[in-house]
Amino acid sequence: MSSTPRCHVLSLDFQDLDVIWNVRLFYLAAGYSLLRERVDSDPELLVVLRGDPGLSHQTYGGTVHIYDYVKELQVDWRSRFPHAREIRLISLLRPAVLPEGVRWVQGYLPVIPEFWQQLPFRKRAGRPLHIANFKPMGDDPYQRDLALLARRGLVDVHGSHWDKIGLSTHGLSYLEANRRLAGAYCCYGLMYPYQRGTTLSGRMWQAPLHGCLVISEKGTNPFGLPGLLEVERFDPDTLLSVVSIRECWQIQREATRYWQEATGQLARQLDLPAYRGPSAVHLARCRRDRRAQHRSVVWSRQLHRLGNWLTPPPISCWWRRRQRMVRGLGRLLGADARQASGSTNR
């Protein structure tokens, strides 16, 4: 067995890369080596981030850390890992039913402030942000208010599927999203109704780490996180919730201190005494992954736009456009011919 304990991260779709980067840095800083793929011999630790792994790990006999931050599934974790030496379930609230042999740890997720924060600290005047995909949750009053503000040009919305309600938007890479949060004074949060008050969304820690106030739904901050403002409605009165860069700087300092202490406390609760924060080498590796994800998103967006440009519209529009191009080319050639013959056109 290797002298360095090994850790393997499980996720149903590896969709939440911000979570994955934080978790990787957390366990690397705790002295683990990360396995990208399963190997013949079991690692000492399995980390489950989201989704149900099914029955594919019935023989695993090591330690399991399960982060219940999505709140979408109710899983009998002991049946998924019947031979695990220890199973720890990390969530902000104690589950209503805790299977025998599963230990609850109160916490959220590890958050590494130095990986996300942008330098230098500066703000640009502009509209509040909302960075998230459109959520299919019916006639939710908060999403309805947010859509109304966006249609009036009062909120800058980014994300996919907002075209369903008539807004032209596109998704951002994590690097783009954090750059925009770093330049904004405030942003709007929006969670699924079943998540409100039971877990946190990514913007609730990302935005305050950049000194950006999160305006969120009533009842979504029972844990007292810094940089969150609960409101009854999303309306224009909340647009000026932060008016000075000094307030933004204070939000960033409080959020940085909070998440450093919370992450250190989580390490102690999980019996990871070697945790001292990520090294410069580990930070650089994850930053390379973040830049790679940024390039992939940008290239995909550009290819999509190019495909739309190359795809011809209905034949009538296509023909009229070609006619205008031919007429313009004819005028250009005619002007060149007149210039060559010495004529003028006054």
228 and 158 in a common domain: yes
Q: Give backbone dihedrals phi and psi of 178, rounded to 5 degrees, phi first.
A: -70, -30
Q: What is the pTM of this model?
A: 0.84
d(CA 127, CA 109): 30
CA atoms within 13 A on the CB side of 128: 26
Domain-embedded: residue 284: no
Domain-embedded: residue 269: no
pLDDT in tens, 206-239: 999 999 999 999 999 988 999 999 999 998 777 6
**Band of the pLDDT at 341, cuts 50, 70, 90?**
very low
Tell me how far apart the 2 most distant CA atoms of the chain are, in Å.
97
Among 241, 257, 273, which residue terminates a domain? Answer: 257
pLDDT in tens, 151-161: 988 899 999 88
d(CA 155, CA 221): 22
Among 200, 232, 257, which residue terminates a domain? Answer: 257
Domain-embedded: residue 33: yes
Question: Containing domain of residue 73, as a range?
Answer: 1-110
The yes-or-no verdict on residue 338 having pLDDT over 50 is no
Domain-embedded: residue 231: yes
Domain-embedded: residue 280: no
For the chain, how many residues are written? 346
| Confidence (pLDDT) at 184 | 92
pLDDT in tens, 135-144: 888 889 999 9
Domain count, the chain: 2
CB 201 within 8 A of CB 189: yes
137 and 81 in a common domain: no
Rg (CA), the chain: 26
CB 81 within 8 A of CB 48: no
252 and 125 in a common domain: yes
* Strand 102-106 with 156-158, pairing: unpaired
102 and 124 in a common domain: no
**Band of the pLDDT at 3, cuts 50, 70, 90?**
confident
pLDDT in tens, 277-323: 899 999 999 999 999 999 988 888 887 777 667 665 555 566 666 66
pLDDT in tens, 39-63: 667 899 999 998 888 888 889 999 9
| Confidence (pLDDT) at 260 | 96
240 and 148 in a common domain: yes
Using alpha carbons only, give the angle 206, 207, 208 rounded to the nearest 5 degrees: 100
251 and 122 in a common domain: yes
Among 208, 236, 257, which residue terminates a domain? Answer: 257
* 245-269 vs 17-29: helix crossing angle, rounded to 10: 60
131 and 237 in a common domain: yes
Instruction: Work out the mean pLDDT of the chain and round it to a whole number.
Output: 85
Q: Supply the CATH number for residue 198's domain.
A: 3.40.50.2000
172 and 89 in a common domain: no
**H or E, element range at 283:** helix 280-310
CB 126 within 8 A of CB 214: no
Query: Residue 60: what residue type?
Result: Y
143 and 104 in a common domain: no
197 and 84 in a common domain: no
Percent of the chain with pLDDT over 90: 53
Q: Supply the CATH number for residue 49's domain.
A: 3.40.50
pLDDT in tens, 80-89: 999 999 999 9
191 and 106 in a common domain: no
The yes-or-no verdict on residue 345 having pLDDT over 50 is no
73 and 5 in a common domain: yes
Domain-embedded: residue 25: yes
Domain-embedded: residue 27: yes
